[in-house]
Structure 1
Amino acid sequence: MRSTRGNYRRPARPQAPLPPLDPLRSLNEGLAETPVCLMEVPSIETDAPAVKVTQLEYIGSYNWVDSSQPTIIVPGSPPHWKNIGPPFTVAHDQGVVYRDQNGFRMPQQTLLPLFTAVDVVQEEDGKDGLPWSSMDFVTDRNGLRKLLRWIEGTAGRDFRIDMQLAGKRTVLLNRWETHTREYASPSFGFNFEKKTTQYTSGCEQSTGHHRIVKYDFDGLKMVVRFEVDACIPPPATKRDLSSASNVDDLIDSLANVNIKDDKSGDPSQTIAGGASPTLKIIHAGSEVPQSNIVELGTRSERNLETYSWIETYPQLFLSQTPHHFLGVHKNGRFSTIQKRKLGSPDLLHWEKRMEDNFKKLRKALEEIQKLVIEHGQRGRLTLVSVDGKLKVYERAEMDSCLSDDVIRRFEI
């Protein structure tokens, strides 16, 4: 879950007393003083056809494990929806929550778990691997939503996105936050999820599930990573790999992963992580069909009529999440769970409402891609939005967001 559902973010493991958080970073950290240019919200033809997401394909997934060394479970699994009927009561959320778990655990290479999970899943499924050089963007859904808020004029919080060109055309959009953890607000989202979902065997120590899909966004080939709150339990499959149910056994079963393109290396080799710790994987969990994934939300009875679908609908659309379950409560006592499906009449209303913004997003991405290509593989550009104005800056450092071994796949 994330803050759009009642100012909620997925909590990290609660600790007592609460640990101090890292100092806030400045949005302009490591950037040139003068911007390269100011981005304008694109204009569109009013009669242009609607932008659609087509040819969607699941390509990988993973769960983070709470370990001192960055560790993921591949393919992992979202928590299973238990279908518990209300009424029931949960306590306020508390503790430390992740704002960006990938950034917290792999601060120098936030996209590395994405590539690792895709490589492992593609190999285990007997596929040749993704044609990375044909992709236009590799990004988190979060970055697309931030750009949509800028387009909508509702970017209430300033943001930054670091960019880098891989190969001849692929733009890597790296999530960048002033802080990757924060203290929980007194809402009910996490405890609602804890009450209504449960991780499966092998994934019990998980702290969040991420899914990676590729799709066509009106001609742009996108690879998009996003967090999944829950899934409708699918039938067991041959990929339902069981692992240890406690963290000690999980750590004992850790294996290093090599993600070299030719897959000829020793699978026990480690990934060169630069300044980040080595990323390790556990083979457990099972692939979940796209049709089973669920976005969860909570809302008080008093504020139900003002629930922000302008904020929530893009979350569903940009990941093609088919189910949305909204828990309605009064002071933590849940009385009903509203279930909606992508494509249902009430959500089609919001698709129509957001149609022009999706067209503008498509055009903005094309302009961003052209700008990044112009600056080449050695260019290091960053988008910074302050008070609704989106500017492009050059970064002072030439550090790559990924190791050379990973970047080389875009040159094939």
Structure 2
Amino acid sequence: MSTWRGASSSGRADFAPRGGRGGGRRRGGRGGRQGAPQRQAPLQPDIVKYPLGNLVAKITTKDIDLTASDDTLSTTAVITDCEYVASYNWMNDSASTIMTPGKPPLWTPLSVPRQLDEDTGDFYRDPNAARFPSYPIEPAVQAIFRVNAAFSTSKIDVFACGSTLGNLLRFARHDDKRFRFTVELIGNTVFFVRKEGSPTELIPGMRGFGHTFPEAYTTWEPDVKGSETHQRIVQYNFGGLGFMLRFECDGYFNTALPQKPSHDGDDDLAQVLKGVSVSQSLPKQNNSLSIKTGGSKVPQSSIFDLKTRSGKYGQSIDMEQILPLLYLKQIPNFIVAYHNGAGLFPTKDIKVENFEKKIRQWEIDNKSALERLSVLLRKIIEVVKMDECGLLEIYRPSADYLEIRKQHGDVSHVLPLSLRQEWEVAGLHAADEFDSDQDSSQEGGGVNLPHSYYNYNFDSDSDDDKDFTACSAEECGYCGRCTY
């Protein structure tokens, strides 16, 4: 069985990572000390090193453009009922270890700005894959059941991360970015898992202060000391579907309003930076995940996303690239910090703002794109549930279409067998609910789109091309509860 599930991040060079805490965060302002900031070319999925499987279906941008008014889509293609489900911190231990529920780093800004060193070291594209390459989604699922052993999975149609769902939104918005990720049906849930390169793939040539700034301006509190990154899982409804989203959280405020500066003096700053590790070592790789209990749940209203930028050539940031991700993650607060080109962040140039109104306005302004995303997701789900084994991958080779393909070679399951079974048992009545929804939609009810919207371009594979290693054709089909 293949054991890697790495991924690329956005490929934007001006999103520097936070390596010492996150091991792969891309949050900071890139831009060399000489001249204007330079952007790297977007990363392309390597289909030579990691070949593609047989084509199953193709979805074009025209397929998801609505040609007729659909009031159901207009009312459901918005995020509603968002709630916190679980969270965990990756710990800087010799073995792969998470702490649940963990806690994000606390916003503790310096009272007197100090010049910071530029980021150096190794930065991983995906800290979850780098720290636990065999099953990068497992820590999130373990955290969910650890927080709530009776959690029901029956209403979760899609389990995604900020990267995979963000890439699909980019396609729906006609943003030209290549990507690929794997897909697996478990019970009633379609899991999207990042996959574009080796799990320990590094981001080359990163410069800026996106790592050292958070180390100086946020603090891991005593109950979560030794943490590297905080991961959150939220649940919400979108387009008539139930979603679960995992994403990395940059920090939180311990009050409704941002804290006043709390670090004072050179000695205090030296203490803050004392534990900074800019070149991170990974835990020993094995299939065992250790789980600690610690930290405490923090409300969604208090978390923030953070970016740094050079203010040397003026203060500006492309919010059209940031607002969609804040929307998908439902992060209400945003911090952008501008430095002088040499690592000094004047207090007046650190902008802290509640973005809830801007996020809501973005949702209104992008109504058509969100409706296209809703159609796209339903198309993907239908194809996955029609597959013999429910194990596929999504690949976007062009601005105009994406492909749904078989996984090449040995299949890579999202979760180990015991956890797949636990997820299925936690939502046993999901298949009946799905069948009921399908029947009502055929009678004109429900939220499913008319079948005319699903115009797939299927290849006619012979049985010789099909992979029945996970189950038999008689056992599988739509339910996803085959014997692995």
Bin the TM-score by the shorter chain.
0.7 to 0.9
Q: Which has the larger radius of gyration?
A: 2
Give the partner amino acid of 2:295.
Answer: G
SS in 2 for 1:383: strand
Equivalences for residues 216-235 of structure 1 within 5 A: 216-233=237-254
Give the partner amino acid of 2:368.
Answer: D
8 Å Cα contact 1:86/1:334 also seen in 2:
no
8 Å Cα contact 2:309/2:339 also seen in 1:
yes
8 Å Cα contact 2:306/2:334 also seen in 1:
yes
SS in 1 for 2:211: helix
Q: Residues 323 and 56 (structure 1 numbering): CA distance in 2 closer, same or farther, change over 3 Å? A: same
Post-superposition shift, 1:91?
2.1
The whole-number CA distance in structure 1 between the counterparts of 2:294 and 2:416 is 26
Aligned to 2:392: 381
Aligned to 1:96: 122
Aligned to 2:104: 78
The two structures have a TM-score, normalised by structure 2, of 0.68
SS in 1 for 2:345: strand
Indicate whether 1:213 and 2:234 are aligned.
yes
Aligned to 1:318: 328
Post-superposition shift, 1:88?
4.0
Aligned to 2:142: 116
8 Å Cα contact 1:75/1:121 also seen in 2:
yes
Q: 1:43 aligns with which of 65, 89, 98?
A: 65
Aligned to 1:250: none
Aligned to 1:21: none
Aligned to 1:392: 404
Give the partner amino acid of 1:104.
Answer: A
Indicate whether 1:404 and 2:417 are aligned.
yes
SS in 1 for 2:415: coil
The whole-number CA distance in structure 2 between the counterparts of 1:38 and 1:142 is 21
Indicate whether 1:57 and 2:95 are aligned.
no
Indicate whether 1:338 and 2:330 are aligned.
no
Equivalences for residues 151-300 of structure 1 within 5 A: 151-156=172-177, 158-167=178-187, 169-179=188-198, 180-183=201-204, 185-233=206-254, 276-300=286-310
Post-superposition shift, 1:297?
1.0
The whole-number CA distance in structure 1 between the counterparts of 2:50 and 2:391 is 11
1:328-348 CA distance string (max 9 Å, x none):
22212223122222333x555
The whole-number CA distance in structure 2 between the counterparts of 1:88 and 1:3 is 30
Q: Residues 96 and 162 (structure 1 numbering): CA distance in 2 closer, same or farther, change over 3 Å? A: same
The whole-number CA distance in structure 1 between the counterparts of 2:331 and 2:292 is 26
SS in 2 for 1:43: coil
The whole-number CA distance in structure 1 between the counterparts of 2:379 and 2:304 is 32
SS in 2 for 1:57: strand
8 Å Cα contact 1:27/1:159 also seen in 2:
no
SS in 1 for 2:55: coil
Post-superposition shift, 1:308?
1.6
8 Å Cα contact 1:139/1:223 also seen in 2:
yes
Q: 1:308 aligns with which of 318, 341, 351?
A: 318
1:153-189 CA distance string (max 9 Å, x none):
3334x3211001111x310111113144334511111
8 Å Cα contact 2:22/2:127 also seen in 1:
no
The whole-number CA distance in structure 1 between the counterparts of 2:222 and 2:116 is 24
8 Å Cα contact 1:341/1:347 also seen in 2:
no
Q: 1:354 aligns with which of 360, 366, 370?
A: 366
Aligned to 1:256: none
Q: Residues 14 and 59 (structure 1 numbering): CA distance in 2 closer, same or farther, change over 3 Å? A: closer
Aligned to 1:131: 152
Post-superposition shift, 1:33?
5.0
The whole-number CA distance in structure 1 between the counterparts of 2:60 and 2:162 is 21
Aligned to 2:265: none
Q: Residues 329 and 354 (structure 1 numbering): CA distance in 2 closer, same or farther, change over 3 Å? A: farther
The two structures have a TM-score, normalised by structure 1, of 0.79
SS in 2 for 1:214: strand
Give the partner amino acid of 2:334.
Answer: H
Post-superposition shift, 1:204?
2.0
Aligned to 1:366: 378
SS in 2 for 1:92: coil
Indicate whether 1:148 and 2:169 are aligned.
yes
1:312-362 CA distance string (max 9 Å, x none):
011111111110011122212223122222333x55543334332222112
The whole-number CA distance in structure 2 between the counterparts of 1:232 and 1:13 is 18
Post-superposition shift, 1:117?
0.8
Post-superposition shift, 1:6?
2.7
The whole-number CA distance in structure 2 between the counterparts of 1:13 and 1:187 is 16
Q: Which moved more, 1:385-394 or 1:203-212?
A: 385-394
The whole-number CA distance in structure 1 between the counterparts of 2:320 and 2:222 is 36
**Which 5+ residue runs of structure 1 have no aligned equivalent?**
16-23, 124-128, 236-245, 247-274
Aligned to 1:254: none
Q: Residues 370 and 161 (structure 1 numbering): CA distance in 2 closer, same or farther, change over 3 Å? A: same
Aligned residue pairs total: 357
8 Å Cα contact 1:69/1:277 also seen in 2:
no
Sequence identity of aligned pairs in percent?
26
8 Å Cα contact 2:22/2:228 also seen in 1:
no
Post-superposition shift, 1:66?
2.2
